[in-house]
């Protein structure tokens, strides 16, 4: 039964990976026509400009009507709406419920950014229809649906960041309405909503030298809670960030403030000189869902063409990570994304391929490539 359960989720993940993952920004520092500044010297590896979303599972194309390259595409919680963003400085929202392409229609076009929009992110539906976006214009915008296809900006980060905002991520819904952001100015911020006050931003300057490329929240509560025997829920939430300083850092969010770095990878006691951490920019970072793991596992992808798996250990109020596995790839790693169960990791590389990794059945500390998919849309 366990085997059939794992196989079922593996099959679903392969079907839909191209729909919501591959056409997300292939570069962690999502470069467009403009220079990103602050150490951004890498240019896009693929010259083809795509203005449509191709779904391999459905063998159909959604024409977005974007006038420039698409950098991200995200389905909402229920999978009924798709948000896309582009270098044309717009965000488009489509109704995509059902398999019939004729039922897929443009719902709204959002205009508010003054530069390429790198990423979009849906909030949990318990908070209503809320969408966040980040851009080269150094801003984070939070949008809320007002009805009849109309959306309004309820938060504008203004001058909080001094350079391009490269990544955003909503915290687990149990933590409230909180959005993390990483910027090329090297800072990491958390924007959260407080009753009777409104939106408040807390920022940690110089979190990463030369810039922050990605942020990811750890699952709420103790890892492995779904499997029983979990420890009590932690008092703080955990946020990881990836930077141009070749490091992954972990921060604590207590609901009001972002504490200093709780842990930094690599450290002398987590990586030997023979097997160091990343040796180039860390492009992306992602925590595994808590469903299948007894401990939190963090995956980081880098410009050095490797993915490293880090295992978390909590001891009272102390947090630590150890490197358990490093997997090499034939090209630069742009993005990493976990399946819903946390059993499979998808890795998008600069060779236009998506690799699927699974934990070895013989060695739990080893991850191996079990499949790969090529972009056949071009």
Element at 4 (helix H, strand E) = helix 2-17
Length of the chain: 378
Residue 107 CB partners (closer than 8 Å, separation 6+): 81, 93, 94, 95, 149
User: Which pLDDT score, from 0 to 100, does residue 20 have?
Assistant: 42
Distance of CA 267 to the CA centre of its chain: 24
Query: How far, in Å, CA of 37 to CA of 218, rounded?
Result: 29
Neighbouring CB atoms inside 10 A of 350's CB total 20
What is the per-residue DSSP string for 273-296? SSS-S-SS-EEEEEEPPTTS-SS-
- Residue 173 backbone dihedrals phi, psi, to 5 degrees: -60, -25
User: Which pLDDT score, from 0 to 100, does residue 270 have?
Assistant: 53
Query: How far, in Å, CA of 178 to CA of 174, rounded?
Result: 10
User: Which pLDDT score, from 0 to 100, does residue 267 have?
Assistant: 60
Q: Are 308 and 289 in contact (CB under 8 A)?
A: no
Closest to 217 (Cα-Cα) out of 180, 261, 176, 188: 180
User: Which pLDDT score, from 0 to 100, does residue 33 have?
Assistant: 34
User: Which pLDDT score, from 0 to 100, does residue 257 have?
Assistant: 87
Residue 245 CB partners (closer than 8 Å, separation 6+): 208, 209, 210
Structure tokens at 68: 């420039």
Structure tokens at 192: 């959260």
Query: How far, in Å, CA of 250 to CA of 160, rounded?
Result: 21
- pLDDT profile of the chain (378 residues), mean per 10: 50 47 40 33 32 52 88 93 96 86 86 97 96 97 91 95 96 94 96 94 92 94 50 69 95 87 72 72 93 82 96 81 93 94 93 93 86 70
Tokens 């801003």 sit on residue: 139
Q: Is 303 exposed, middle or buried (0-12, 13-18, 19+ CB in 10 A)?
A: buried
Query: How far, in Å, CA of 120 to CA of 202, rounded?
Result: 20
Q: Reduced to 3 states, what is the DSSP secondary structure of residue 174?
A: helix
């Amino acid at each position: 039964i366990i085997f059939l359960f794992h196989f079922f989720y593996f099959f679903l993940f392969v079907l839909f990976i191209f729909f919501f993952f591959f056409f997300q920004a292939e570069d962690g520092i999502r470069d467009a026509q403009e220079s990103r500044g602050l150490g951004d010297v890498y240019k896009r590896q693929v010259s083809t400009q795509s203005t449509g979303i191709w779904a391999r599972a459905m063998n159909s194309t959604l024409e977005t009507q974007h006038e420039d390259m698409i950098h991200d595409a995200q389905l909402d919680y229920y999978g009924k709406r798709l948000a896309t963003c582009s270098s044309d400085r717009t965000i488009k929202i489509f109704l995509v419920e059902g398999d019939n392409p004729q039922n897929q229609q443009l719902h709204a076009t959002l205009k508010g950014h003054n530069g390429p929009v790198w990423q979009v992110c849906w909030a949990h539906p318990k908070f209503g229809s809320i969408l966040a976006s980040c851009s080269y214009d150094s801003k984070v915008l939070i949008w809320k649906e007002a009805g009849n296809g109309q959306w309004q900006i309820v938060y504008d980060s203004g001058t909080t960041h001094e350079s391009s905002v490269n990544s955003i991520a909503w915290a687990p819904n149990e933590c409230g309405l909180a959005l993390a952001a990483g910027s090329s100015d090297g800072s990491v911020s958390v924007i959260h909503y407080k009753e009777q006050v409104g939106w408040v931003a807390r920022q940690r300057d110089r979190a990463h030298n030369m810039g922050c490329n990605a942020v990811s929240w750890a699952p709420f509560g103790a890892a492995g809670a779904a499997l029983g025997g979990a420890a009590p829920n932690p008092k703080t939430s955990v946020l990881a960030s990836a930077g141009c300083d070749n490091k992954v850092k972990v921060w604590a969010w207590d609901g009001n403030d972002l504490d200093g770095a709780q842990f930094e990878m690599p450290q002398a006691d987590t990586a030997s000189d023979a097997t160091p951490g990343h040796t180039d920019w860390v492009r992306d970072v992602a925590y595994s869902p808590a469903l299948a793991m007894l401990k939190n596992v963090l995956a980081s992808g880098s410009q050095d063409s490797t993915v490293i798996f880090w295992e978390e250990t909590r001891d009272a109020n102390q947090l630590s990570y150890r490197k358990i596995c490093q997997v090499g790839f034939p090209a630069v790693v742009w993005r990493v994304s976990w399946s819903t169960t946390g059993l499979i990791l998808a890795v998008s590389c600069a060779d236009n391929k998506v690799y699927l990794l699974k934990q070895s059945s013989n060695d739990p500390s080893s991850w191996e490539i079990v499949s790969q998919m090529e972009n056949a849309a071009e």
